[in-house]
C-alpha cells in the first residue's frame, strides 16, 4: 500500500514537503520550526495528523503527503476531515498517489472531507472533479488571525 501513517521519524520529510509546497505556490520564505511541528503532530496532545505517500516501486521514498485535522459537522452530526495540505513532489505526479491519499482519507470517515484550493489551479480542479469532488457553492471562507 503506498499510503501510511506518518511517524515521528518522518518529521523532517513532512516539514520539507510543506516548505517545497510553499515554494511551488510562490512563498520562498517559509521555514518551519521543526520542534514546534513535532509537538503539534507527535506530542502528547497532537493537533493534526499526516498520511505519507510512497511509490510502490520505491518503498521508503516519501513522494507526498496529506496534512489533516478532524472536523465536525453539526448539521450532519458526524466527524469529518479537513485536508489542510495535499502535495505530491513533481517527479511523482500522475502516478495515482494523490488519489491514493484522498481515498485513504475517504475511508476514514463517512462524513465530509473538505479542503481549499487556490483559485485558478486548473490541474487540481480537474483532478478533484475526476474524483467526484465539487466546489461548495454560495460559501465564502473567512480567516481571523491574531
Active site positions, annotated: 128
Cα→Cα distances 129→3, 49, 82, 99, 122, Å: 21, 25, 18, 12, 10
Chain-centroid distance of CA 141 in Å reads 18
**Cα torsion for 108, 119, 127, 78, to the nearest 10°?**
20
Q: Given the C-alpha cell 514546534, which residue does it identify? A: 36
The CA-based angle 132-81-75, given to 5 degrees, is 85
* 100: number of Cβ within 10 Å: 21
Would you report the helix, strand and coil content of the chain in percent, each value rounded to 5? 35, 20, 45
Amino acid at each position: 500500500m503506498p499510503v501510511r501513517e506518518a511517524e515521528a521519524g518522518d518529521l523532517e520529510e513532512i516539514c520539507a514537503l510543506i516548505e517545497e509546497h510553499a515554494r511551488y505556490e510562490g512563498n520562498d520564505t517559509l521555514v518551519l520550526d521543526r520542534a514546534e511541528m513535532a509537538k503539534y503532530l507527535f506530542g502528547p496532545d497532537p493537533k493534526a495528523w499526516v498520511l505519507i505517500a510512497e511509490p510502490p516501486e520505491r518503498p521508503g521514498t516519501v513522494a507526498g503527503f496529506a496534512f489533516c485535522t478532524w472536523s465536525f459537522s453539526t448539521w450532519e452530526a458526524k466527524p469529518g476531515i479537513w485536508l489542510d495540505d495535499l502535495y505530491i513532489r513533481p517527479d511523482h505526479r500522475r502516478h495515482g498517489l494523490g488519489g491514493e491519499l484522498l481515498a485513504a482519507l475517504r475511508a476514514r470517515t463517512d462524513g465530509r472531507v473538505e479542503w481549499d484550493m487556490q483559485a485558478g489551479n486548473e490541474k487540481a480542479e480537474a483532478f478533484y472533479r475526476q474524483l467526484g469532488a465539487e466546489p461548495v457553492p454560495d460559501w465564502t471562507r473567512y480567516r481571523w488571525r491574531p
